[in-house]
């Protein structure tokens, strides 16, 4: 009698082909995800610095203390009465072009000088524009 040989498995070639297609698909999807994570990280840092600046201005008005804001090359600092109140470290993809330092005046919260801070990011460059007077500012993507 002849024995019927019933094969239900896959050959080595078929398995290698499926493995190759799967690995290519995974590699193609990782690169855009990495760029997206970097962009989200930058946006999050911009929003955090905005909140920190508003807080520094509020502290200057309510507590009548001299409040300094410093954009350093790799970190952002808020100094209240000569003491570092808090520090934010930029993501690795973000750098300040030139160190900038200014103050919010006690009681009024007005800024002591107008300035523009240029920040280079991996996904986008940013321009912080501080206007003299009321201490208002805006962030533009360049």
Which residue ranges make up each domain of the chain? Answer: 11-141
DSSP code of 106?
T
Q: Which residues of the chain have pLDDT under 50?
A: none
CATH of domain 11-141: 3.55.40.10
pLDDT at 140: 93
Cα-Cα-Cα-Cα dihedral of 41, 136, 68, 113, to 10°?
120
Tokens 């200057």 map to which residue? Answer: 60
pLDDT at 5: 61
Q: 62 exposed, middle or buried (CB, 10 Å; 0-12, 13-18, 19+)? A: exposed
């Amino acid at each position: 009698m002849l024995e019927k040989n019933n094969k239900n498995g896959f050959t080595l070639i078929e398995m290698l082909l499926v493995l190759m297609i799967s690995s290519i698909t995974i590699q193609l999807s990782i690169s855009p995800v990495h760029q997206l994570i970097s962009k989200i990280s930058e946006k999050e840092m911009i929003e955090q610095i905005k909140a920190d600046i508003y807080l520094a201005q509020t502290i200057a008005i309510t507590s009548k203390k001299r409040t300094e804001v410093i954009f350093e090359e790799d970190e952002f600092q808020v100094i209240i009465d000569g003491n570092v109140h808090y520090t934010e470290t930029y993501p690795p993809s973000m750098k300040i072009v030139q160190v900038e330092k200014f103050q919010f005046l006690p009681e009024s919260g007005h800024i002591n000088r107008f300035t523009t801070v240029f920040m280079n990011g991996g996904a986008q460059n940013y321009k912080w524009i501080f206007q003299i007077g009321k201490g208002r500012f805006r962030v533009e993507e360049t």
